Structure 1
Amino acid sequence: MQNNKSRSLSMSRREFLKTTAAAATTMGAAALPFSKLYAQGPAKYRRMNISSPEARRTIESYKKAIRAMLALPPSDPRNWYRIALTHTMDCPHGNWWFLVWHRGYIGWFEQICRELSGDPAFALPYWDWTENTDPRKPFRPSVPAVMFEDVLTPTDSVYIPHFREFQARYRDVMAKADYWKRIYKPDGEFDDATQYGQLLARGIRTPDDLWFDIIDDPRGTFFFDQAHARGLTKAKPGFDGKTAKAVSLQTLLDALAPRDFLTFASPKTMGHSGLTGFGVLEGQPHNRVHNCVGGIFTEAGGNTTDSGGFMQANLSPVDPLFFLHHSNIDRLWDVWTRKQQARGYPVLPEGSDYDAWSAEPFLFFADSKGRPVIKTTAGDYATIGDFNYDYQPGSGEQVVPPVLTAGALKARAVTRIERFSAQITRPTANATGTASGAVMIPPALLQGRMEPEAPRLFAQVTIALPPLAHGHDFAVLVNAPAGATGADPSSPHYAGTLSMFGHHLVHAPVTFTVPLSGTIAALHEGKLLQANAPLDIRIVPEQMALPRVLAAKPGMKAKAEVLSIVVEAH
C-alpha cells in the first residue's frame, strides 16, 4: 500500500518542522492535504463522503469487509469484535492523544477492510454530519439512510444477538491472548510500556475485570442486545436539537478556529488512559454524536431518554457508523492542520510537549494480516504519512485560506491568545441551583462579528465531577434570564452542552471548551448584551440519562463544582 515517494511516519521533529515551514511558504500547502507534504503527487487513496454518488462502490466493499470480519474466528485480531475490543481496552478520550490514536486505529482498520473486501482501492468513507443535503429544508442532521442497510447496522441478524453469547465466544480467547503478559526490564522493574501495563493504567488487572466492565457493571454495560444495538432507527434517524447544534456549521467553524494544538485537540494528560478535558471538536460533535446515535436522546421538552446502543459506550466500534464518524473527525483534523500551515501557526505540540506526546505507546493495533504493527508510538501517526489517503472536500474547508506571504505568516505566528478569567459567583451546580461566573470581555470582542478573520471566543469551564460521572450533562448559558434552569438549543442564550462519552472514572477536574462566538452574535442581534457589563456564564445541570443505573431516580440531576471559567479569544 505504500507510495514509494512517501516519507516514513517516524521522521524527526526537526525535519518535520522544516518541511512544514517550507511547504507552507513555497509549495502552496493550503491547497493540498497534509499528507501531500510528504509525498509528491496525489494521495493513493481518497476517502469519500458517504452521501456522494461516487461512494457507492466503497459502501459495497465496506459491506464485504464487515461480513468477512464477522466470519473470522475470535482468535483472529482482525475479527470484527476483536477490533472493537481494541478500542475498549486502549482508546483515549478527553486528552491530547484522542485524535492521533484514532487516526492510527481507523488507518489500520482501513487496510484490513482493503485486504478482506478484495478491493485494492478501498478507502473508508466519512460521514459529514454538518452537510445540509437539502438546502430547501431546515437543517436536521441524521444517520445516512444507507447505514440502515444489511450489515451496515448492528441490528442485522449477522451480529451477536446477546451479551452472554458474546462472552461465551470471546472469554477464552481473550484470557489466552498476549495482553496479560508481565514483562520486566533488565533491572527487574515492571515495564509499564507494554500491553499489560496499559491495561493496568485503566484498572483492568485480569480478564475478569474486562468482562465486568463490558457486561456486569451495574452502572451500565458496553454490550447491547440486537434490539437495542443502535439508538437511532430507520424510522427516526434524526439528531436531537442539542446534537444538531453540536454538529452545525457554526460549531464546526468554531472548533476549527483555535490557533494551538491543545485548544483544538484536548488537554494534556500523563498517559492516554487519563481524562483531563475536551476541546470543542471532541466535546461537542464527537461526544454528542456518539451519545445520540447510541440512544441518549434529548426530547423537545427537555427530557432525556436512553434507548441503548453501542455508540454510547466503549464498545462503540461494533456499530459500523463508528468508523465513518471518526473518519470525519480525522478529516477535520486534516482541515485544521492545513489551515494552521497556511497561517503559520503550529500544527502539533511544541518543544518538550511534542517529545512527551509523540513518545506515548500505542501497542494494540494489528495490520491487514493480523500481525502486531511496527509503528507503536503517537509520533508514528502525527501525519497521514504511509496511510497515503486524502479526503473528498467537505464541511469546514472554507477555513483554509489562500497561501499567505512569508511576511504575513510571520506576523500571524506571533499573534497572542487573549485570556479573561471569570469571578465565580456560585460554584455549585446541582438539583437546587446552577453555577455561574461573571467575566469582563473588552467591548471590541463583543461586536458579534462572524467574519473569518474575526476573533472567536471560547469558554474553558473546569469542573469537579463525581468519580462515576458517565451521563452527567450540563448546559452552558450566557446572560440567561434570572431563574432560568435550562434552554432550548435555538435560544440565543444557549452555548452548548457539556457531555461525557463512554464510562470513565473521573479522578481529577475536567475542562470543557465551549464556543461562545455564535451565542455572542445571537445576543448582540437580539440586543441582549449590555455595554460595559460582565458576561454571566451559567452552568445548568440537566437530567441524567441513566435508566440502567440501579441507584438512579426519575428526574435525578447531575452535580458538579465549577472551579474556574476562562474565556479565550483566538
Structure 2
Amino acid sequence: MQPKLFSSTMSRRTFLKAAAATTAAIGASALPFGAQAQGKAKYRRLNVLNPGAKRAIESYKRAIARMLKLPPEDPRNWYRIALTHTMDCPHGNWWFLVWHRGYIGWFEQICRELSGDPGFALPYWDWTENTDPDSPFQARVPAVMFEDVLTPAHPAYIANSREFQNRFRGVIARADYWKRFCGPNGEFDDETQYGQLLARGIRSPEDLWFDMLNDPRGRFFFDLKQARGTTREKPELDGKTTKAVSLQTLLDALAPRDFLTFASPKTLGHSALTGFGVLEGQPHNRVHNCVGGIFTDPNGNTTNNGGFMQANLSPVDPLFFLHHANIDRLWDVWTRKQLARGYPALPEGADFDAWSREPFLFFVDAKGKPAKKRTAGDYAAIGDFNYDYEPGSGEEVVAPPMFASLLGAAVPSESTRAQITRSVVSGEQAASAVVTLPSPLLGLRAQAETPRLYAKITLALPPLAHHHDFAVMVDDGNSRTDPSSPHYVGTLSMFGHHTIQAPVTFTVPLSGTIEAMRQNAQLTDSGALNIRIVSERMVKPGVPMARHAPGTEPKAEVLSIVVEAH
C-alpha cells in the first residue's frame, strides 16, 4: 500500500483514489494506519534521543566533515547547500512544507553518499519530548548536538565572514544562478534560477553578499563565537518557545482538516510571505529564533546572542536538518490522520494545480547534479525518498478507526470577526479587540476528535519587521505576557529576513487558553473575549533588547482578528 500511496509521480486523481482505497482497507483492519504505512519504507528516521540513532549520528558527523572539506565548486559543499536555502527557501506561504521536504530529502541522500553509510536516515529532533528532566516544562537542544562538527562553533567551520567571502566570492559569481534565458520573442523566462532570484530582489552576486554580510538590519553569517545562540552549558529554550513546542500546541497544529489551515496561506509565488499556520508560526519560527540566540528570560528581557538559525543561512547549523525533519514528520502525521478519516491531504481543484506547478530549481542530487524533480508536485508525497519516521509526539492523532470516528465531530460553520478597539501596537501600548463567540464556538472543548478554535490575526507590519515579536493575550489587560499564564495564547514571530510588502496573517490556537479560562471560572456566559496584542522590542544580534525613545518605537496595525473552528 505504501509505494502506491506515496509515489511522488502519481497524478492527483490517482493519489486520491489510492487514499480512498487505503482508508477503506484500514476500516477493515485492527491495526493503526501509522503501523501499516510505516512498515514498508526502506529508511527510518529515528528520534535523535533514541539510543538506536547512534549509528546515524556518527554517519551524520562523517558526512558533515566531508562536506566541509569539499571545494566550493562542488554543489554538495556544506556552505553551498546552505546557500540553496538562502536563495530559494519559502517561508510564510503554502509551499513551506513541500519545499523543505525536497530540500532535506536530497540532503539526506547526499549524506548517504558522502558518509559511506548506505542505510543512513536523518534523525529528527522531537522538541516536545526533549525536555529538561529537572524542569519538565523547559525544552532544550539535545546534548549530542554540541559534539564535534554537530555544532557550527567547531573549528572545522569557517571562522569568520572575511574568510567565507574569500572562499566563495569567485565560485558564486561564476555559478549558473545568474544565467538569463529568453523565449523566442525575447521575453524573459522567469521560471529559471535567475528569475527566482529576481523575485527576491537579488539581482547580482553583490546583492547576495550584501544580504549575507553587510545588511545593517542584521547579517546572515556569524563568526564561530556566535555560530549558535544556545550552548552546552545553557541548552534550554526560553519559556515562549517551550510553550510553542508543547504537546498542546502540536495537537492544535495537527487538528485542522484542510491543507491551507494546517500549512500556511496561499501566495502567487514561493518567494512571497503572506502568513503562518500554527505549525510554521509557532514551533518552527520560535525554535529557529531561540536556537539562533533570540532568548527571552522569565522577566521579559530579550537578548540576541547571534546564531545561524535565526537567519536565511540557518542550514550552516546541523541542527537545522533535525529541526526540519521533525516538521516534516508532523506533516506526515497530519497526512496520515487526514487519509484515515477521509479528509483531503493536499490542496484541491485549481488550488492543487497552481500549488503543484510551482518551480523548485535549486536542488542537487547525491552526485551534485541538478535534481530532475523540479516542481512542488514532485514532493507532495515522500515518494522515492522512501523513508518513514519512528513515532513521536503528536502520533496519537492518527487513531485507529475502531477508537475514533472516521468523520469526527462536525465543524461549526460560524466564524466571528472581532471588534478592534485599538488597532495600533506601539511600545508599551497594546492593541485590543473584543470578540463574542456564538454558542457553537463557545461550546467547543480542547479534546481529541473535536474541532478547535483559532484566531487569524492580520497585521500591517513595518517593512523591516523580521525581528519584531507580538504576544497574544486573552485577558482584562492586567496579565503579564508570561507563557505560564492561562491567558497567554502565543507569540507571533517572524523567521529570517523578509521585506514585508503586504499584511501578514498569523493563525494561533485559542482552545487551550479558553479551556484554562473555563476551568478557572474566568469565561463569561456571554462568550466575550478580550484579546490583546502586545509588542515585544526589536532585537539586534549580540546586544540586549534596545529601548526606543518615546514616539520612535516600531509600530504595527491590527487590521482584523477572525475566530474560526477547524
| Same fold flag (TM > 0.5) | yes
Pairs within 5 Å for 1:75-154: 75-131=73-129, 137-154=135-152
Q: Provide the residue aligned with 2:464 in structure 1.
A: 468
The alpha carbon displacement at 1:530 in A equals: 1.3
Matched, 1:565 2:561: yes
Q: Work out whether 1:543 is the aligned partner of 2:544.
A: no
- Identify the match of residue 208 of structure 1 among 206, 209, 213: 206
User: C-alpha separation between the residues in 1 aligned to 2:277 and 2:186?
Assistant: 40
CA contact (8 A) 1:294 1:309 kept: yes
Once residues 274 and 4 of structure 1 are traced to their aligned partners in structure 2, the CA distance between those partners, rounded to angstroms, is: 33
* Residue 508 to residue 45, structure 1, CA distance change in 2 (3 Å): same
The answer for the alignment partner of 1:517 in structure 2 is 511
Tell me, in whole angstroms, the C-alpha distance in 2 between the residues paired with 1:271 and 1:250.
32
Q: Given the alignment of the two structures, is residue 24 of structure 1 paired with residue 23 of structure 2, yes or no?
A: yes
User: Are residues 34 and 94 of structure 1, via their aligned partners in 2, closer, same or farther at CA, if it must alter by over 3 Å?
Assistant: farther
**1:495 aligns to 2:489 (yes or no):** yes
Greater displacement, 277-286 / 522-531: 522-531
Over the aligned positions, Cα root-mean-square deviation in angstroms equals 2.4
Of 395, 401, 404 in structure 2, the residue corresponding to residue 403 of structure 1 is: 401
Structure 1 pair 45–32 and aligned structure 2 pair: CA distance change class (3 A): farther
Residue in structure 1 matching 2:360, options 359, 362, 368: 362
Residues 348-369 of structure 1, C-alpha deviation per residue, up to 9 Å, x if partnerless? 0000000000000000000000
For the pair 1:9 / 2:3, whether they are aligned, the reply is no
Q: Please list the CA deviations of residues 364-420 of structure 1 after superposition, one character each: whole Å capped at 9, or x if unmatched.
A: 0000000001000000000000000000000000111213699x64x5598555421
Alpha-carbon distance, 1:186 to partner: 2.1
In structure 1, what residue type is equivalent to 2:422?
Answer: R
Distance, in Å, in 2 between the alignment partners of 1:143 and 1:550 is 22
For residues 173-223 of structure 1, what are the alpha-carbon distances to aligned partners after superposition, in whole Å with 9 as ceiling and x for unaligned?
000000000001223211000000000000000000000000010111000
C-alpha distance in 2, partners of 1:216/1:7? 43
TM-fit CA distance, 1:558: 4.1
| Distance change in 2, residues 1:547/1:73 (3 Å) | closer
Change (3 A) 1:6 1:18: closer
Q: Which amino acid aligns with 2:386?
A: N
TM-score, normalised by the number of residues in structure 1: 0.94
Report the AA paired with residue 107 of structure 2.
F
2:304/2:544 contact within 8 Å kept: no
SS at match of 2:65: helix
The answer to whether the 8 A contact 1:437-1:537 is kept is yes
Instruction: From the superposition, tell whether residues 272 and 51 of structure 1 become closer, same or farther in structure 2 (CA, over 3 Å).
Output: same
Say whether 1:433 aligns with 2:429. yes
Per-residue deviation, residues 38-65 of structure 1 (Å, max 9, x unmatched): xxx6100000000001000100000000
* 1:323-362 alignment, distance < 5 Å: 323-362=321-360
Q: Which amino acid aligns with 1:495?
A: V
Contact residue 6 and residue 382 of structure 2 kept, 8 A: no
2:455 to 459, 463, 479: 459
State whether residues 256 and 451 of structure 2, in contact with CA within 8 Å, keep that contact through their aligned partners in structure 1. no
Q: Aligned partners of 1:422, 1:402: CA distance in 2, in Å?
A: 38
Q: If the length of structure 2 is used for normalisation, what is the TM-score?
A: 0.95
CA spacing shift, 1:511–1:118, aligned 2, 3 Å: same
Quick check: 1:377 aligned with 2:375? yes
Aligned residues with identical type, % of pairs:
69
CA offset digits 1:257-286 (Å, max 9, x no partner): 111100100000000000000000000000
One-letter code of the match for 1:498? L
Contact kept, 8 Å, 2:409 with 2:449, in 1: the verdict is no
Change beyond 3 A, Cα 1:45–1:96: same
Structure 1 residue 27: Cα displacement: 4.2
Question: Counterparts of 1:405 and 1:157 in 2: how far apart (Å)?
Answer: 53
| In structure 1, distance between residues paired with 2:133 and 2:313 | 35
- My pick for the range that moved more, 417-426 or 79-88, is 417-426
Residue 261 of structure 1 corresponds to 259
Cα 1:335–1:210 change in 2 (3 A) is same
Tell me if the contact between 1:420 and 1:439 (Cα under 8 Å) persists in the aligned partners. Answer: yes
Q: Would the aligned equivalents of 1:339 and 1:400 in 2 still touch at CA under 8 Å?
A: yes
Distance 2:362 2:10 in 1: 22
For residues 57-77 of structure 1, the C-alpha deviation after alignment (integer angstroms, 9 at most, x for no partner) is 100000000000001000000
Deviates more, 1:178-187 or 1:43-52: 178-187
Q: CA deviation at 1:423?
A: 1.2
Q: Who is 1:182 aligned against? A: 180
> 262-271 vs 23-32, which deviates more?
23-32
Alignment match, 2:317: 319
Change (3 A) 1:134 1:509: closer
Tell me the number of residue pairs that the alignment of Structure 1 and Structure 2 aligns: 561
Structure 1 residues 481 and 438: CA distance shift in structure 2, 3 A: closer
Matching residue's letter, 1:472: H
Q: Do 1:494 and 1:519's aligned partners in 2 also have CA atoms closer than 8 Å?
A: yes
Contact 1:265 1:281 in 2 (8 A): yes
**Hey, what does 1:42 align to over in structure 2?**
40
For the structure 1 residues 182 and 414, does the alpha-carbon distance in structure 2 shift closer, same or farther, using more than 3 Å as the test? Answer: farther
Q: Deviations over 1:62-117 (max 9, x none)?
A: 00000000010000000000000000000000000000000000000000000000
Which structure 2 residue ranges, 5 or more long, are not aligned?
none
SS in 2 for 1:244: helix
Q: Provide closer, same or farther for how the CA distance between residues 526 and 111 of structure 1 changes in structure 2, counting only shifts above 3 A.
A: same
Q: 1:299 to 1:552 in 2, by over 3 A?
A: closer
Give 1:466 shift.
0.6
> Which 5+ residue runs of structure 1 have no aligned equivalent?
none
CA contact (8 A) 2:306 2:541 kept: no
SS of aligned partner of 1:502: coil
| Range that drifts further, 198-207 or 125-134 | 125-134
The structure-2 alpha-carbon separation of the partners of 1:413 and 1:76, relative to structure 1 and needing over 3 Å to count, comes to farther
State the distance in 2 between where 1:385 and 1:301 align.
Answer: 47
Q: Conserved in 2, the CA contact under 8 Å of 1:35 and 1:43?
A: no
Q: Are 2:5 and 2:18, in contact at CA under 8 Å, matched by a contact in 1?
A: no
Encode CA deviations 1:470-507: one digit per residue, 9 max, x unaligned.
111000000x23355x4110011100000000000100
1:195 to 172, 176, 193: 193
Q: Structure 1: which amino acid aligns with 2:458?
A: T
Change (3 A) 1:6 1:535: closer
- State the secondary structure of the residue aligned to 1:511: strand
**For residue 449 of structure 1, what is the amino acid of its counterpart?**
R
